[in-house]
Chain A
């Protein structure tokens, strides 16, 4: 029985952790390239879930097609948010930008309640309820999809940043914006791509994690909080750090909750953050040059 529970908790932790990774990578990308701490990132996660729901309900498309549609639509909304809000403020003080992202977050969450309705909704995925027994471990197909899709997507994003020209321009912008601009990098395009990528990733995580629970317009608050913990753990702007941080947080929460106390589940994340910040004061805002 001990191993049954242990393995199930590790599996729970891995799935939750992969979900965290998917949300956190976008957050860390936007910070790394644009130097924006985007509090509204969780709302793009929420929008991903709701666009999926309405695509299935109103357009009648199958679940996986709805996921794709939501990803593209929300990536577009991310680009729009960048053009309308963040681009004109690029030279403003970082706190101005911080407040704008906070405002956008509130606007989207409360707007969501008006447009989508406050009642919780369930995304009807055909994979949500059917469980697979892997020895003592029960996982629904939906959770397996979260694991596999997240791993593939993160791999693709890595390859994109590492090997494509746009990816290299993003790296250059992250290292030194003015230097990159001087050597001919189109900063506007880099920012547009980064926002599209980050919001698309948030949307796909909302669309994939949505059917594992129910969705309501304030789920973004939860998502952005977890993503912040992950990003601070892994170092703001670091993709590898976000992957390691997300998986570590997921598994630490599951095992800590099981063997120490469930009351500590949320405290575990904050505890790790405090420890990381103490040992590595190059955390949050100090990481800036």
Chain B
């Protein structure tokens, strides 16, 4: 289970008590754990994504710990922090993790605005493994100890827009995007790419991260009479309402979900209205991967949610961080760990994972479509 900071002191007391009672236990507990700060949205609009991330990470940690941990027997301990889906709170959580709790590394972030703010606090201080954010500047303006696992909007969109242009037979689209760094980047890029390959972009509408009703935007979009709607919604709660309301307003065209935002919960919440929707995702369950299979078993043992892309990202982030620490022989010499991350290919729940010089990750990704309420892989995207 996830150990909160308050509970940890109790645990420490229990460990001391245990240590006093038996010599073998003293040996087992002699090595301090490697503490990983997981800064995720555990309240606010991104609560569900944060919860999935934490679950995915803990399941991966359980597997590593069951094999004896890293660095000659040190266990992984995850210390969770709530960024409340807000950049300000993310920054203060990072400060607490670094200065007060002195964690060994940060494996963090579901949303771009928070990662963009938080990287300035981690710069020169700590290893920062960014998980889901897709804004190019996270790595372009990152630092030597910052890595980002997910593809950027540019990497993913370049491939996906080609697929949209060649396979979907659309003459025009309208774009609906969340009004934050991520959504504005998506809207700008897709507007450009789709226009370049001959799909007219009839208009772009934005919604706020706090919106719960999208009829006003969708009415305007319906009036544009486009063949397709491209939806860039990063929170499951908002995506599900959008897909339902698109159908409720009588729209019959093609619907496309932005990359990385297709998950089983979204399908459960959206019901029949998400049937046939296309997206692109690095995590698919119908492509064989023994590491992912073992992780799914461990995940299912502990949690009732279905495994998802955000959970797999968090698991892979922890796997790379832990394995690189093990290889570098240290949990705090970030130059050595960063060098190890850059210099190797890591076998994770997302398959082979590599990082370039600025810390940008490279993972496989796939074109997926919802068929009969299931996410089905139709082709490889990169």
Contacts and interface: CB of A to CB of B under 8 A. Distances in A.
A146 to B, nearest CB: 11
Contacts of B206: 262-263
B305 A129 contact: no
A128 B219 contact: no
B216 A265 contact: yes
Given A131-B250, A262-B207, A120 B237 contact: yes
A219 interface: yes
Interface stretch (B15-23, B44-52, B313-321, B347-355): B44-52
Contacts of B219: 5, 8-9, 12, 258
Interface residues of A, number: 39
A119 B51 contact: yes
B42 interface: yes
Contacts of B241: 213-214
B262 to A, nearest CB: 15
Contacts of B310: none
A118 B240 contact: no
Contact of A12 (B43, B215, B305): B215
Contacts of A83: none
B80 interface: no
B213 A113 contact: no
A214 B245 CA distance: 11
B208 interface: yes
Contacts of A217: 47
A214 B240 contact: yes
A118 B47 contact: yes
Nearest to B223: A5
Contact of B47 (A122, A138, A216, A266): A216
Given A120-B237, A120-B265, A216-B237, A138 B212 contact: no
A133 B250 contact: yes
Contact of B237 (A138, A214, A257, A263): A214
A258 B224 CA distance: 12
Contacts of B269: 120-122, 214
B216 A9 contact: yes
Interface of B: 42-45, 47-48, 50-51, 179, 205-208, 210-213, 215-217, 219-220, 222-223, 236-237, 240-241, 244-245, 247-250, 265, 268-269, 271-273, 305
